[in-house]
Structure 1
């Protein structure tokens, strides 16, 4: 029997990539709050619209209604803002026959809030960028490069980090973009790790360089091996309590040490996991196996270095174009 998989968050690259990768082996129900989400235009998916996760009550009601009508075998969310609410609905989803592999509420909250994330990482001696609360800008060194990270959880208030050149600029931006955290701007080679942690806490880590980044997405990425970076990523996964798929971002910085710094942890698949798959890792297969209760085979998550993937923006659909005659 072909599995029916509900993928939420198909407006963003991770959900779009996942929905496309699951076809044609699975029947994909693609859902998002944005009626113009590109993932709703993928040929072959069943497209459905949901309220934004910020409207908790409506989102929960309509998600459960969607699961009742479409009867998916499993749900995979690729939107961090949905994960705390989905965790509270996990019992009801299970009673409806919908499998999930969700992070704990504590883990989901930490992935949304850099202040909480960096506190958890620091408690386990995981290197992070220096950071300051807006009311503590006087403690920022005068020669430090910083950027503002906005921690508001509503998807419609999401911002890319804003680079600042002075404490005064950081203070003014914090007043405009509240609530925010001020973070040291780390220089070095950026990377993403495609991760999978089984329920026995064993982790596999697939490292990819972020060569070209647009809108937070690695448009050019390549696999590499680095035992130091893999060890720090594994340490971060354990500190945050990740179970299931995750992506971790960091920087292999220039001296002074520590050489590897963790900047983000997300409890869902990344947009570039296809590069890990091309490098030999059975990433999606092991994620789906774990979702359906099978043991993760970490031996099948080994990968080759120096495999490069280049992505681009594609046109998925055009509606309403008038007929045209070429002369």
Structure 2
């Protein structure tokens, strides 16, 4: 297995840096995130700094771990050890004459990357927070929808609609209206558990842990997000095998809604996601203030109901 250090380099405006591989190289002509091979006995962050200096003339500052992706090609096996770089010294320039572009994350699917880069592209496009709606309270639907619109207007761009007590008619009606709000505010909506409804609305689906046991294939095409609720290593493996775009793992801390649930804690959470090749959000008793702590543990960010709603 060839160990490769990879950097997802971001500007303050959110744009990410991609470069194109030489035509005569492995996966030649495709776009990639900068990086290179980790030498024997070399620390990954040292290799990342060396490669980014050689390729781009920059020095990463405080990179944080993102994903570790093992991938088998017909002719070689690689481990992409991916780090996010939000601060760096120097001005990136193509020292190896490679084409270089700064692009917004939403435009990444327009570029052809090596297959192993798929989860990195997804992680680069996903936000730090994943809002899960509370159950529908008593009262008019307009108040709930107004609250949802306010959260999206404030920047909640990844939202799961979860209304376990709603009737079938109400559920479908509210899902349609939530889909329209997401389109208005540029958010991405996932509906909880309802694959058929997600297909009809053209939105994503968030799979329950029980659904992971029965599905054998990814339920939606690429472009419609598939997420999964996980509680242990086995469920994380199932989510990855199904081709889920991301997972949610918890509960990490005690929650008011599930006070008797087994708590993972930060250490177990970090151990469970260490080699999971899909982005994972931490769930359970968390809020926006917990994002830095869990991103340092290799999480994509945090998912929450109370803490974000």
Q: TM-score, normalised by structure 2?
A: 0.29
